[in-house]
Structure 1
Amino acid sequence: MEQIKVLGIDIAKNVFELCGLNEAHEVVYRKRVRRRQFMRTVLQAGAERIVIEACGASHHWARRLRHENQRVTLLPPHQVKPFNTGNKNDANDALAIAVAGTQASIRPVAVKTLEQQDIQSLHRVREQVKKQRTEVINQARGLLAEYGVVLPVGVSGFRRGIPEVLEDAENALTDRIRALIADLYDQFHALDARMQQYDRDIKAVAQQIDFCRRAMEVGGIGAQTATAFYATVGDAGLFAKGRQVSAWVGLVPSQHASGDQQWLGSITKRGSRYLRTLLVHGARALLTQAERLPGRRGAWVRQRIARNGRNKAAVALANKNTRILWALMHNGESYQPA
C-alpha cells in the first residue's frame, strides 16, 4: 500500500470512516470500521498524520492516538465544511476532513487534557442548571401574573418575593395555586443550592491552576472566566499573538475591504459564545468602578466610555483582557498592571 501522508477520520458513535491521501493528495486508502476495531486499524494504516474534525469524543480519541505516538490534529468543523463536495455521507465527510488537513492556513483546535475537559464539563453542567432555574422562575412568575400578582424581575426579586406572596392571605391565590407555587419555590431552592455548589467547585479549581490564579489578578476576570478561558483556549501556542485569540473568540470588528477602502462593522461574535459572554460581563462589572480605576488602565477605560459609551467600552475592555490572558498563558508570567 502506498504511504499515507494524511489520514482523515470521520468519527461517529460506533462507525468510523477513514480516508487516506498520498503525497500528491490523491485518495489511496478508504476503510469503514467499527468502534472495537478502530484503534488497531488506524495504527496499522501507518499514516504520517491523522486529522479529525473536532466533535463529540474527538478529544478522547485524539488523546488515545497521541498516547500511541501518533501525530493528531483536530480541525474546526466550519473550516472543514467548504471542502465537503457531493452528497452528504461518511465517505465524503472523511475525504473533506483529509483534504482540509492538507491546508496549512487552517488553525487547528487544541486537544484538551482531561483536566481541561473536566473543567469544561463543570461549566456546561452549571449552565444547564442555571437554565433550569431560570425556567422555574419564569414559570412561577407567569402563573402568578394570571392571578394579578407581579413579581420583580431577577433571581433576588424572586427569592424575596415568593415567601411574601405565599404568606399574603388577601391576594387572589387559591389553595391549589399556592401549593403549586410552593412546589416551584422548592425546586428553585434545590437548583440554587446546586448553582452555589458549582460556583464553589469552580473557585476551588481556579485556585489549583497556576494560570487561573495569575489570570484572576486582571481586573474583570474572576474564577469562572479564568477557568473557562483555560479550558476553551487550551493551548496558547496555537496563536501567534493576542489579537488572533480575540478574533477567535469573536471580539474584533467585522471587516469589509476592497482596494484602498475598508469598512469596520460590529464584532463578529464568532467562536465560543459562552466564553465571550463571560469576558464581556466581567468587563461590564469592572466599568462600574471606572471612576476609581487607577493608572493608565483607568484613564483608558474612562476615555473609552466618554468616546463610545459603556456598551462598546465593555466590549473593548473584554478584547483587551482577552489579549492579556493570552499573554499570561503564553509567557507564563504574572500580571503587571501599567
Structure 2
Amino acid sequence: MAYKRISIDTSKHVFTIHGVDEVERPVLRRDLRRSQVEAFFAKLEPTEVALEACAGAHHWGRRLGAMGHRVKLIPPQYVKPFVKRNKNDRNDAEAIGEAASRPSMPTVPVKSLDEQAATIIVKHRELLVGQRTAAINALRGHAAEFGVIAAKGTANIEALLAVLAEAPEIPATAKVAFAAMGEHIADLDAKLAVMDKQLLEQHKSNPVSQLLVTIPGIGPITAITLALSVNPANFESGRHFAAWLGVTPRENSTGGKHRLGKISKAGNERLRTLLVVGATSVIRVAKPGRSSSSAWLLGLLARKPKKLAAVALANKMARIIWAMMARGEAYRRQPSAA
C-alpha cells in the first residue's frame, strides 16, 4: 500500500509510526523495534517521512534519504501544539504527521556526516567550559563558608587556593579537599588549552573563519565556531539567521498595535552567548574616534542601557555574519563617529 506520509516518534528502542493516505486518513499505526526500522522502510515505495528534529533524527534522516524517501525534520516546539490531549507515543507520532502536513511548516535540514563531525569539538569545548565554571563556583562557595572571599574570574583561582592552603583556621581535611578541587580545575584548564589550540589551527585553515574574524567583536574561537556550526544556505536572510539565534524580540501584537518585548532566546544558546559577549567587548571600549565605534552604536549607547545595546549590536552582527557567509563578501567597516 502507498502512503502519502509516514511520521515516526523515535526513542531508544521502540519507534512508533503513523501513516496516512492521500486524503490524510490514518491507515497505519505500528510499533517497530530499532532493528526493524530500516527493513520496514526498505520495502516501501519512496514517500514523505516526518520526524522531530531531536537526538538521532539526522542519522535516520540520512538513512531514510538514502533509500529514496523524502525526509522532513520538524522542530519539536512546532510539533507540541498538535498533540491531542494526553501525551503518548501514538499521539506524538500523529502530531508529527499533522505538523508536517502544514505547507508553511519550517523544517530543519538533514546534516551530513561531515557537518555533524565538525561540531563535536565545539560542543565538547562547551561541555568542558561548563564543568570548569561549575567547579570554580563550588570552590568559591566552599571557601566562603570559611570566610575566604575571592574576586570573580578564572585568573583569581590560584590566589584563592594559595590563601586556602595557608589559612591556619581551616581544618586539614578541608585543605585536602580544596587542593583536590584545584587539581580538577587545573586539569580542565589544560584540556581546554589543548582544545583551543586545535580550534585555532582549524581557524587558520578555514577561509570562512578567516573572513568572519575581521568583524569587531568576533575572535578566532567565535569565528571557527560559526564556520563549523552554521550553513548560511539554510536561512533566507540575515533576519532569519538572527531569529534562529534568538536575538530578535518577541512580538505580542494585536489589533494593529505592534508590541515588541524581550529577545526570544529560541535558538542556539552557545552562538547567541558568543555574539553577546563579543558585542559587550566592543561596547566596553566604544568611544568617538575608534574604528569599531560607529555613529549608530554611539547613538544607541546615548539612548539605551549598555546591556540592551549589546543585544542590539549582537543582532546586527548576526545579520552581517550571514551576509558575509552567504555571499563571500569581506567586512565593510562602517565610518567611525568623529
Same fold (TM over 0.5): yes
Indicate how the Cα distance of structure 1 residues 238 and 137 shifts in structure 2: closer, same or farther if over 3 A, else same: closer
**Counterparts of 1:171 and 1:149, CA distance in 2:** 12
After TM superposition, the structure 1 = structure 2 runs for residues 82-101 of structure 1, keeping only pairs within 5 Å, are 82-101=81-100
Q: For residue 122 of structure 2, what is the amino acid of its counterpart? A: H
Are the counterparts in 1 of residues 6 and 18 from structure 2 also a CA contact under 8 Å? Answer: yes
CA contact (8 A) 1:19 1:94 kept: yes
Q: Partner residue of 2:150?
A: 151
1:33 Cα deviation from its structure 2 partner = 1.6
In 1, distance between residues paired with 2:175 and 2:275? 40
Rounded to whole Å, the distance in 1 between the matches of 2:108 and 2:206 is: 21
Aligned equivalents of 1:255, 1:65: Cα separation in 2: 37
Matched, 1:307 2:321: no
SS of the residue 2:259 aligns to: strand
CA shift in 2, pair 1:178/1:252, >3 Å: same
Amino acid at match of 2:175: R
Which of 237, 242, 245 is equivalent to 1:246? Answer: 242
Corresponding residue number in structure 2 for 1:320: 316
Q: Give the AA of the match of 1:207.
A: K
- The residue that corresponds to 2:177 in the other structure is 180
> How much is the aligned-residue C-alpha RMSD, in angstroms?
2.2
Pairwise CA distance, 1:78 = 0.4
1:223, 1:317 → 2: CA distance?
19
**Contact residue 46 and residue 67 of structure 2 kept, 8 A:** no
8 Å CA contact 2:19–2:27 kept in 1: the answer is: yes
Equivalent-residue separation in structure 2 for 1:231 and 1:106 (angstroms): 26
From 163, 186, 189, the equivalent of 2:186 is: 189
Aligned 8 A contact 1:221 1:282 in 2: yes
Change (3 A) 1:301 1:200: same
Q: Which runs of 5+ in 2 are unaligned?
A: none
User: Do structure 1's residue 63 and structure 2's residue 56 form an aligned pair?
Assistant: no
What is the TM-score of this pair, normalised by structure 2? 0.90
Equivalent position amino acid for 2:84 in 1: T
Q: Which ranges of structure 1 fall in alignment gaps of 5 or more residues?
A: none
Deviations 1:131-155 (A, max 9, x none): 2222322232233223332222221
Per the alignment, do residues 293 and 19 of structure 1 end up closer, same or farther by CA in structure 2, a change over 3 Å counting?
farther
Aligned length: 333
Amino acid at match of 1:245: F
Asked if residue 226 in structure 1 is aligned to residue 213 in structure 2, the reply is no
1:335 and 2:331 correspond: yes
Aligned-residue sequence identity (percent) comes to 35
Aligned counterparts of 2:331 and 2:103: Cα–Cα separation in 1: 33
Q: Distance in 1 between matches of 2:52 and 2:286?
A: 43
Contact (CA 8 Å) 1:212, 1:230: kept in 2 or not?
Answer: yes
Larger displacement relative to structure 2 (65-74 or 247-256): 65-74
